[in-house]
Structure 1
């Protein structure tokens, strides 16, 4: 596929995702799938949810097209699609009728195991397969935790996908670009004003997809695993350290809350647009760091990744102290 054809295909995916989001909003309003404002939420207006199904369907259609264009890769693409359907399906169910957290986690682990199996089959490296499983299970849940204000989850997926695409060879790079296109079709309905929320069907799927593309990049390139996580680091730090602090303080960490730094910033008076914009800047910075270090030796890549994570962790700590009363 040439650059012109790829550009046209990506534009089609943007328009498809936008159309499907519009339909998802009509469906949510018809079924009264609406998130009400509350103490543990960061919005103040009742808003329909479940718009992330548009991203899922767009990526699935792109996967079907890829399987048609590359028949040799079709079995692996089918396994990937099954994992996506599992994560999105349990999220769609939860959007309609809330499920116990353990059930969702078991499905997420099953999807992660499918990705891990693909990594093992591609590399024969058991350690890499275990890493894929852990990263996939973690990202599915962390992306759900971080989907709490307008535009933040989908915009971070866009910048992370662009960063991963920039260091991947063709045709592999088209996979994260397809995700970025699908998110760009959804984003105008969710940012700066939210006319529909992504819902669990979308947030969990984004975590799964980004884990899949990190795994794909680890197979298609020689880049250090830690370096591949740099574009995701803003979310990993905020979600990870907030989760750890809740666990250490004895709180019920699986319950909804508004203790992430991005949520505290909104409670302190910052607008959704401003806070999401800061995270977009951090995401683009992380993607730029990944591109800059991609040609370095693996050990140096890992060192820079650890330093970047440490910098963001320090920033998280400073903001946590400044926003401790919110």
Structure 2
């Protein structure tokens, strides 16, 4: 079998994602599937939602092609795709008719369990599987909370997917390239001006996909799992610490709000483009840190990853204080 050119995969699937996003926008407008401005939102005009379905369908198309090209991996790819369909499906439903948070969470946990089962099958390591289950469940929900301004969720995921593709061997890196292609095709419709929002169908799916890529990296490389989360750390820190603070103060943390640092920065007067650019820059720095960690022993990789997370946590705390009035 001929080698697959990852650049060609990126181009073809990005074009597919762009076409699907255009169709999703037409569908949302016809169905009046709109996000309206409000106190807990960061946009000022009614905007179609649900464009993330384009990313999901693109990844599923790439997964089907991968199963055809690599038949031995077809069962694992089918399980991965099943989890993606579950997360995206409950998100699509919620975009059309809001569902209770507990029902969505149960579906997220079931999909995360499928990923954990793949890791357990591949490594026989129950602890590694449990960690992937927890990370996947968390990222599905964290990505949803971080999808609040133009381009931030898809742009940060694009950087994260490409950074993980760089450190994984072929053909496993192709899965990350497929995810990056889905984000790349969607991004021009959402940034710098949002003609369509991703919706829960896309944000939850991206969290699942980022967890799947990190889990895959922990299986097919010798990189410590904490290091694999470095390119995703800005989202993990902002969402994790913000939600933790809401829990500690007795607020309903699952409800929509505008208390994340990125949301407060927009309320303070920064543009969506600037704030998204800062997070993408943090993702690029995280990608460089991950690439630099590859030659190090796993224990040193973990130490640097923890230090990077601590640095971001300090930055979050400083910005939280500076933006406390917003």
Separation (CA, whole Å) in 2 of partners of 1:244 and 1:286: 23
Distance 1:118 1:9 in 2: 25
DSSP 3-state at the match of 1:43: coil
Q: Tell me the distance in 2 between the aligned counterparts of 1:88 and 1:78.
A: 15
Residue 106 of structure 1 corresponds to 106
Instruction: Give the match for residue 132 of structure 2.
Output: 132
Aligned to 2:16: 16
The count of aligned residue pairs is 325
More moved, 105-114 vs 165-174: 165-174
Aligned-pair CA distance for 1:10? 1.7
The Cα shift of 1:9 comes to 2.2
State the Cα distance separating 1:7 from its structure 2 match: 1.9
Distance (Å, rounded) in 2 between the aligned partners of 1:203 and 1:10: 20
CA distance in 1, matches of 2:70, 2:178: 16
Offset of residue 66 of structure 1: 0.3
Which residue number in structure 2 is paired with residue 277 of structure 1? 277
* Aligned counterpart, 1:195: 195
Q: Are 1:226 and 2:226 counterparts?
A: yes
Computed over aligned residues only, the root mean square deviation of the Cα atoms, in angstroms, reads 0.7
Q: Residue 132 of structure 1 aligns to a residue in which SS?
A: helix
- Distance, in Å, in 2 between the alignment partners of 1:7 and 1:226 is 28
The SS at the match of 1:67 is helix
Q: In 2, distance between residues paired with 1:11 and 1:243?
A: 37
| Equivalent residue number for residue 301 of structure 1 | 301
The CA deviation at 1:6 is 2.8
Question: What secondary structure does 1:50 align onto?
Answer: coil
Q: TM-score, with normalisation over the residues of structure 1?
A: 0.99
Structure 2 CA distance for aligned equivalents of residues 296 and 236 of structure 1 = 24
Distance in 1 (CA, whole Å) between partners of 2:156 and 2:7 is: 21
Contact 2:6 2:177 in 1 (8 A): no
In 1, Cα distance between the equivalents of 2:283 and 2:323? 22
Matches within 5 A, 1:1-326: 1-2=2-3, 5-326=5-326
Distance 1:68 1:319 in 2: 48
CA deviation map 1:263-286 (0-9, x unaligned)? 000000000000000000000000
Structure-1 separation of matches of 2:208 and 2:250: 28
Cα distance in 2 for partners of 1:136, 1:265 equals 27
Deviation at 1:112, TM superposition (A): 0.3
Q: CA deviation at 1:8?
A: 1.8
Q: Distance in 1 between matches of 2:236 and 2:314?
A: 13
Distance 1:62 1:254 in 2: 32
| Separation in structure 2 between the aligned mates of residue 233 and residue 210 of structure 1, nearest angstrom | 12
In structure 1, stretches of 5+ residues that fail to align are: none
Q: Distance in 2 between matches of 1:265 and 1:8?
A: 38
Partner Cα distance (2:186, 2:92) in 1 = 17
* 1:110-141 CA-partner distances (Å, limit 9, x unpaired): 00000000000000000011011001100000
After TM superposition, where is structure 1 displaced by more than 2 Å over at least 4 residues in a row?
none
Deviation at 1:2, TM superposition (A): 3.8
- Cα separation, 2, equivalents of 1:124 and 1:325: 50
Q: Contact 2:54–2:186 at 8 Å: present in 1 too? A: yes
SS in 2 for 1:296: coil
Query: What is the rounded CA distance, in whole Å, between the counterparts of 2:7 and 2:228 in structure 1?
Result: 25
TM-score by length of 2: 0.99
